[in-house]
Chains A and B, each alone.
Chain A
Amino acid sequence: MRVALFVACVAIALSTLSSMAQERMLRVAGPWEIAGVDPAQSGYVFSRLQVAETLVSANATGKLMPGLAQKWSVSDDGLTWRFTIRTDAIFHDATPVTADAAAASLKRAHAGVGVLTQLPISEIASDGQDVVIRLKKPFAAVPAYLVNFSTIVLAPASYDASGKVTRIIGSGPYQVKSLTPPLKLELKGADNWWGGEPGISEVSYLAVGQGETRALMAESGEADLVFSMLPVSVERLKRNPKLDVHIATIPRTRIIKLNAAAPFFDDVKERQAISYTIDRAGITKVILRNADLNATQLFPPALAGWHVADLKPLTRDVDAAKRLLAEAGWTPGPDGILQQGGKRFSVTLLTYASWPELPPIATALQAQLREVGIDVKVSVGNSSEIPSRHQDGTLEMGLISRLYSIVPDPIGTLLEDYRPGGSDWGAMGWSNDELQTLVEKLAATSDPRERAALQKRAVEMLQEELPSIPVTWSELAIVANKRITGVQVDPFEVNYGLASVRWAE
């Protein structure tokens, strides 16, 4: 009893002290931890929180916008890209952002593991106020690649002698005040950002891995802006009068990666049967709590030009699935599991917990596939196991979350995922010459109308062939306290526009 009393006293003391300690600081919480300062590792945090900037930016529809480069152009042969650096940009150490510094950052990114390594680059150089990128063959989407966080431009003082990034000196509206990896980042307004003064000058970011905790931080008012809410909390938060919930569909699709070389999935009928088995509506309703995320095709509506509205949607049809499986030669065995030539239809579905919703979806898929006689063992492991098992060919099925806006133009991802021989996060044991030609043509084409037709055809092919099976799309749920206004949702997660957030009066 006395203890309870004591605890109560301490708590009261705490609460009174806490209210005094309230500062006018924008408190942001999100799930991403800051593993290291290398741009390829956690550049997205610095990009999203507007500490560092890229040459090119994108708006909410995925349209490319000027970033540190105020304009860009490509030579007629399509081999030389010039990006003109804006003159009013200044790094946080007060040195000007020059083409030299930008080129140096890009060179480093090219030598590392970021997206630039995928481009056919022959040289990166600076020329006056221009950054010049020379290619080995024409590639239309170069500016889109320069939106990626791994290409953020840092001041020369960010690097040590060996070229390693030791601290983040960017050019955005916020500069790093303190960084406590892996969980905490404190920012303060930069003195002279080219875009003007940020609305709130102090920002603290806390990485909160647990979804329930993030929801509670929003509810308790301990955080003003919380990213990535769990589907189950969204409804509850929407009812909270103190909070605004913003939701956007993001270009990320949860797909089943199949080994089309395995006897279970080598027939397109088998893949279609699996697609028919999946209760996408149920999964989106029960697990994701948002029926709009039902992935009737690979790309969500947000990806303009890539979402084909009149495409025959992927639906659930268990009878069709059973028929297709029978056509493919699978017959029910004595234990209710399908078999063919004495081999049971028993596969392992590999997934990982980096995205909290993947294991629950895998569990649902397991039960649904069991209904048509497919025995699925779910194995929740580390995300590296998918590429690892892809490489050694032992992967059978994987449930993965694939991002199509690593560059705002999904062509980059498609190029990678459906190339012959497949790729870590794309097809496996599947290739299609027609698609290959289509995608390559797309990569070299920049005319929008010409592209549209090609894009539509590519999407149709993926829908027919199902080298990987879309399950659900994804959403980004952001909760903002009504204390603040001006919150925008960027489906491409390039930057969260913190600089335009204001205190509501």
Chain B
Amino acid sequence: MRQFLLARLAQAGIVALVVGALCFALMRVLPGDAAMRIAAGRYGPDARIAEAADKVRLELGLDRAWPVQFLDWLASLVQFDLGHSLVTGAPVVDELKVQLGASVWLAAAAIMLSLLIGPTIGVFCGLKPNGWTDRLGLAGSVILRSLPPFVLGLILMLVFAIWLGWLPPAGFGTWRDLALPALTLALGLAAVSSRVTRDAIATVVKAPYFVFARHKGLPEAAVVWRHGLRNAAIPVVSYLGLQAIYLVEGVVVVESIFAYPGIGHALVHAIVERDIPMVQGTALAMGLIFVAVTAAVEAASAWLDPRLRRTQ
């Protein structure tokens, strides 16, 4: 267990370093005048950007040699200081707390909802492959996959906010606000996870231990519950782990349509506005989340599948 943690910690360190360096390098080589972009980001499109950019350049020391800037970043990183956003001037850590925090909540809610929807449907589809439930499940999954998230979001808003009037179309802060964006994401996730689950269940159903469990005389519910779900969950969990990572950053459109202050939104702004500390901080946080999620997936897989515990 300690070894596992240490290895994870080392991995996190490597990820932090590489991600930071990579972002820094990429942001450096981007064409265009960073000061101009920062100025536009700060003062908006009506401002006198060129003049503001001169001030920005001076204020931020963007003229310094880039190794100096990078070492600066590293030195502060060691003290857990991610610097200040070049655009808002607020500490990057504070911004991340709000935006990454909001995104993580959203992602968590989405995953929870998708777990209720996707695998449940997947199990019913997988128990009778090619039955009508399965075909319906396939159709639903394909429809949800072909709708871009903003279209799906709009449809949900129309249904839940306008037609039924149950939920607010946008906003954040309460769990009512979380419901629609989370559902939008969850449906997108469930579209795939239901198929993954369906395939996993269909495989399990054919497995000798599942057949034997039936031959033992167990009622079907017990067979599925005790021998089907756990075994089918193994591939589903590793799939969901990957999804969770895509989710935290892949939600930018959902965030903007639901006016939800997430990290995707922040990242897009930070990149467009050349807010290097913000991009680095975000990428770093995302990298660490990636490490954490993979570790969690490994732990969950090991819990589900005793065969994996041997190797640890």
Q: Given A36-B90, A184-B173, A384-B40, is A11 in contact with B162 using a C-beta cutoff of 8 Å? A: no
A424 within 8 A of B: yes
Q: Is the CB of B172 within 8 A of A183?
A: yes
**Which of A73-81, A168-176, A212-220, A258-266 has 4 or more CB atoms under 8 Å from chain B?**
A212-220
- Residue-wise, chain B 13-51 has the 8 Å CB interface mask toward A (1 for contact) of 000000000000000000011001101111111111111
- Count residues of chain B with CB under 8 A from any CB of chain A: 58
Assembly CA distance A354 to B272 (angstroms): 12
Question: Which chain B positions have C-beta within 8 A of A6?
Answer: 116
B5 within 8 A of A: no
Question: Which chain B positions have C-beta within 8 A of A216?
Answer: 157-158, 161-162, 169-170
Q: With both chains docked as a complex, state the minimum distance between the C-beta of A464 and any C-beta of chain B, in angstroms.
A: 27
**Which of B228-236, B251-259, B289-297, B301-309 has 4 or more CB atoms under 8 Å from chain A?**
B251-259
B148 within 8 A of A: no
Question: Which chain B positions have C-beta within 8 A of A219?
Answer: 161-162
Q: How large is the interface on A (under 10, 10 to 19, 20 to 34, 35 or more residues)?
A: 35 or more
Question: Which chain A positions have C-beta within 8 A of B219?
Answer: none
B104 within 8 A of A: no
Q: Is the CB of A113 within 8 A of B48?
A: yes
Q: Is the CB of A3 within 8 A of B121?
A: yes
Q: Is the CB of B42 within 8 A of A36?
A: yes
- Residue-wise, chain B 42-70 has the 8 Å CB interface mask toward A (1 for contact) of 11111111111101000000000000000
B285 within 8 A of A: no
A343 within 8 A of B: no
Q: Given A3-B120, A212-B257, is A113 in contact with B47 using a C-beta cutoff of 8 Å? A: yes
Assembly CA distance A73 to B27 (angstroms): 51
- Residue-wise, chain B 80-107 has the 8 Å CB interface mask toward A (1 for contact) of 0000000111100001001000000000
B108 within 8 A of A: no
Assembly CA distance A390 to B95 (angstroms): 33
A460 within 8 A of B: no
Assembly CA distance A155 to B42 (angstroms): 22
- Residue-wise, chain B 168-188 has the 8 Å CB interface mask toward A (1 for contact) of 111111101001000100000
Q: Given A11-B167, A117-B51, is A164 in contact with B36 using a C-beta cutoff of 8 Å? A: no
Nearest B-chain residue to A212, judged by Cβ: B154
Assembly CA distance A113 to B56 (angstroms): 10
Assembly CA distance A164 to B173 (angstroms): 28
B166 within 8 A of A: yes
Q: With both chains docked as a complex, state the minimum distance between the C-beta of B1 and any C-beta of chain A, in angstroms.
A: 37
Q: Is the CB of A388 within 8 A of B36?
A: yes
Q: Which residues A188-224 have CB closer than 8 A to chain B? A: 206-210, 212-213, 216-217, 219-222
Q: Pick the contact of B45 from A38, A164, A401 — CB < 8 Å?
A: A401
- Residue-wise, chain A 330-355 has the 8 Å CB interface mask toward B (1 for contact) of 00000000000000000000001011
Task: Give 22 CB contacts A-B under 8 Å.
Answer: A3-B121, A7-B117, A11-B167, A12-B166, A14-B176, A17-B176, A35-B87, A36-B42, A36-B90, A113-B51, A183-B172, A183-B261, A206-B259, A217-B169, A217-B170, A219-B161, A222-B171, A382-B37, A384-B39, A384-B41, A388-B33, A424-B48
Could you tell me which B residues sit within 8 Å of A by CB distance?
32-33, 36-37, 39-53, 55, 87-90, 95, 98, 116-117, 120-121, 154, 157-158, 160-162, 164-174, 176, 179, 183, 256-261, 272-273
Could you tell me which A residues sit within 8 Å of B by CB distance?
2-3, 6-7, 11-12, 14-15, 17-18, 21, 29, 35-36, 38, 40-41, 112-113, 117-118, 164, 180-184, 206-210, 212-213, 216-217, 219-222, 352, 354-355, 382-385, 387-388, 390-391, 400-401, 403, 406, 416, 423-425
Given contacts A3-B117, A183-B172, A383-B40, 17 further A-B contacts (CB under 8 A): A2-B120, A11-B164, A17-B176, A18-B167, A35-B42, A41-B44, A113-B39, A180-B98, A184-B172, A207-B259, A208-B170, A209-B259, A216-B170, A220-B165, A384-B33, A384-B37, A384-B40
